[in-house]
Structure 1
């Protein structure tokens, strides 16, 4: 057993460990240590390796707090994940790279290693694919990079697009004029722009044609020069749509393609343009691919757990499919429980078989 001290002020303790020392309890559960918090001192007790790891995490959070950040449960969870992975990445260093600010002055920055790598790819490549589950900041960070470039006069306009046909709905069957038909599909893009630019600036630039939000079909036949172009929900494109989009790029333009391979709304049997692009473009020098995971989820901590559960489920399904099971059959997912333990026996199926035999 080791007793390791960490010096900090009472105010630092309140920020780092949260109300009622809630974050200290998270550290204790995650690392198997005991943390004693008193005014002006913190003592970590436990097995020496784990106690030192806990001290390292607390010091990471302290450095982050010293930069003016209010520590959140998400910060604590991510600091623990980094430490358990043996990473030497400094959360304070991540915090220094500010992309831009929202209208309210809130800084927008990469919050995870995966997001940092994504932003670096965007900076250094002409075309960047950001691939990962919901909540990893793919679209929001892409928007922030586009707005920063626009404000710095690096590009003349921003063009945002996404497939406008999802979940089997066709625009012609929806009520209203064209704008009212496509608005629901483009709403996530509007939301990000409103947050970063503010509605007045966004509307003024829209009216000038400097910001364009349109369905993917409207890109056909155009050459887009000196523009920042973002294709969102790319998993719902067909290969021909993806090819059409990527060949619109003109001089002085930069492209970001975002998508989640696990959330396709294409008709059954239709190949995704995103999947095809990953296979055939991965060896081209000026095209970058950034892969985000549940570790990069920056929404409510429960979202990360949900994403992780689905990732485990999909991996288990792939393993069963390789073993000769048909994917999607009741047999393939009836015994799965999403808590990291994958399969929990087959007693239910055995019971049914015995019952049938008795009959």
Structure 2
């Protein structure tokens, strides 16, 4: 048997590095590794090292760099669990993804930012870096645009920030609104009184408030006028002062509606505008006010524009993959249209050149 040189010995020592992580008890071990070791399986699928679960201890051995990364994920999840968060597959997979992208140092601060505690005792925290950037923008700016696909939490987090501001007495009321024209329907053509007409459009906002405040508290604040929920058309002619105002589904506003809404901002107020530009229900040929406003106001002081991505989707894993697939299809379509336009331009230029050449020959 040959003698190993220093480099070979160094590599050999690297590969037998072992880290041990102790759990407080079996319940913590189950919370971190999964009821049926499903979270442990995610770690095994993503890190090329050996995991040995021994009751209230997890041993990880393998190449040093990989072991340290895997251990970092487990320790961050342990910290999150001890802060009172019920771990889900999202926290596990997102933590793994961040560490593998070299952004593991952001995990601790990301998961430790509690915005508020709901009526049922649930701690609401940002779940992705995109969400944290979004929340920081809301704290910093008078008007914040949150743009992104379904499942990124843009509306729910805006409502959470509104309730947090109300509890801290930073504002005196919460105003929630949506455009009342979606999927080709107009209020005047829908059956029932005003409340019955607008309820289907505003249901997501009701649901968010019920979840955060509890039904009884929500009803009391609504009765006192502390919470107001109304269609966008009812904002015209008003100045909203000392209020936290949220415009949801803003992709379905026209440019004039968006300008009308934004100019309702009064002293002591804050606005959050949310929407998904891939879900515009406006009539063909009508430009989205959200698209225009986010473009022309992005450099205005006091205005923040945050674009959430598929990585920020919190819903079922399949939803994130669906969003990514549509994004790829949209990009491919845009690229194809661009190539077609360029080809048409070249053909037109060639025809014009040929025509000019023929005219020159005829003149000669």
TM-score range, shorter chain: 0.7 to 0.9
1:267 and 2:283 correspond: yes
1:139 to 135, 155, 161: 155
CA contact (8 A) 1:282 1:289 kept: yes
> For the pair shown, which has the larger CA radius of gyration, 1 or 2?
2
C-alpha contact 2:31 2:87 (8 A) present in aligned 1: yes
Q: Which residues in structure 2 correspond to 1:288-299 (within 5 Å)?
A: 288-299=304-315
Please give the TM-score of this superposition, normalised by the length of structure 2: 0.84
* 2:18 aligned with 1:4: yes
- My pick for the range that moved more, 120-129 or 65-74, is 65-74
Show the counterpart of 2:130: 114
Q: 2:90 aligns with which of 65, 68, 74?
A: 74
Question: How far apart are 1:25 and its partner, in Å?
Answer: 1.1
CA distance in 1, matches of 2:48, 2:283: 48
Q: Which residue number in structure 2 is paired with residue 313 of structure 1?
A: 329
Q: Structure 2: which 5+ runs fail to align?
A: 1-14, 343-364
1:353 is aligned to none
Is 1:31 equivalent to 2:47 in the alignment? yes
Any idea what SS the aligned residue of 1:97 has?
Answer: coil
Cα gap change, 1:46/1:190 in structure 2, threshold over 3 Å: closer, same or farther? same
Cα deviation, 1:293-339, whole Å, max 9, x if unaligned, reads 1221222333222222222222222222222279xxxxxxxxxxxxx
In 2, distance between residues paired with 1:192 and 1:243?
Answer: 26
CA deviation vs aligned residue, 1:38-97 (integer Å, no higher than 9, x gap): 224333345544333222222222222232333221111100111122114343322322
Residue number in structure 2 paired with 1:300:
316
- 1:146–1:266 CA distance, 2 compared to 1 (3 A): same
Report the 3-state secondary structure (helix = DSSP H, G, I; strand = E; otherwise coil) of the residue aligned with 1:276: helix
From 201, 209, 218, the equivalent of 1:193 is 209
What's the TM-score once normalised by structure 1's chain length? 0.85
Aligned residues: 326
Q: Which of 13, 19, 22 is matched with 2:38 structurally?
A: 22
Distance in structure 1 (CA, Å) of the matches to 2:126 and 2:143 = 19
Contact 1:3 1:43 in 2 (8 A): no
Instruction: Give the CA deviation at 1:277.
Output: 0.6
RMSD: 1.9
Deviation per CA, 1:75-131: give whole Å up to 9, x if none.
111001111221143433223222122111212221221111111111111001111
Paired position in structure 2 for 1:224: 240
Check conservation: 1:2, 1:51, Cα contact below 8 A.
Answer: no
